[in-house]
Amino acid sequence: QFLGSTEVEQPKGTEVVRDAVRKLKFARHIKKSEGQKTPKVELQISIYGVKILDPKTKEVQHNCQLHRISFCADDKTDKRIFTFICKDSESNKHLCYVFDSEKCVKEITLTIGQAFDLAYRKFLESGGKDVETRKQIAGLQKRIQELETENAELKNKVQDLENQLRITQVHPSPAGSVTPKSPSTDIFDMVPFSPISPQSSTPTRNGTQPPPVPSRSTEIKRDLFGAEPFDPFSCGAGDFPPDIQSKLDEMQEGFKMGLTLEGTVFCLDPLDSRC
């Protein structure tokens, strides 16, 4: 019967084992009072360690490697109890395993001692190579587990980067691209007139079409007094007074001689001799 295992502070010692046995016996009494039975197990003892198996399914419940077992003893006060202390490979804590056997307590204790002797002889024969090989294998297995974890993290990062790349491809925003700017409008929300750009049929911002520009009429219109309006683009030489050219020539000659214009009177100022 397997009473269980409990953590101990020291890897060996009779008092350490007694405290562990006392604790697990008390726990067994509580379980019995609750109607729970103490489980039965099967032990496999070899030069590699002690395996604790289920007697029916042969499933390994605990695998205590021999080089991790630091102490083994039977209880002198209770001939049914034997124990051994093993260091856990994962937590590095010392655990005391306690068993209750009605007949073969001494045989089990001696068998574990013989396993230690055989393992030590094999160690001497191999020159310690076997133990070193196992240490290297254990180190490689741990390294493989670390690399698998790191590989999984890198795969997640790559998947995140691919998702971000797909998002940027769906909504591209190339750097340096210039979006066409709409023409600036005045305070009345109207596009200023440009004589170079032709009239376009683009609707205004409120969605309506601008009114057509009236064509220039060939008919000459007159003002309120019956006079034709002045048009600098359509007037010719005959539209000016007949003596306008002579007036312009006189003004040009006067300017050369030093005339200045004051209102409508021409006056001749004396020329500065220093000029």
- Checking if the pLDDT of 169 tops 70, the result is yes
Backbone angles phi, psi at 31, to 5 degrees: -65, -40
Residue-averaged pLDDT of the chain: 75
pLDDT top residue among 124 and 1: 1
Closest CA to 1 of 40, 53, 36, 37: 40
pLDDT of residue 179: 53
Fold of 2-126: PH-domain like (2.30.29)
Domain ranges of the chain: 2-126, 128-164
Over residues 65-94, mean pLDDT: 87
Which residues are CB-contacts of 11 (< 8 A; sequence separation ≥ 6)?
A: 70, 71, 85, 87, 94
Mean pLDDT along residues 132-144: 78
Average pLDDT over residues 99-118: 86
Q: What pLDDT was estimated at residue 260?
A: 57
pLDDT digits (tens, 9 = 90+) for 215-261: 555 555 666 666 666 665 555 555 555 566 676 777 677 666 665 55
**pTM (predicted TM-score):** 0.46
* Mean local confidence (pLDDT), 175-192: 56
What pLDDT score was predicted for residue 5?
92
Task: Find the mean pLDDT for residues 75-85.
Answer: 86
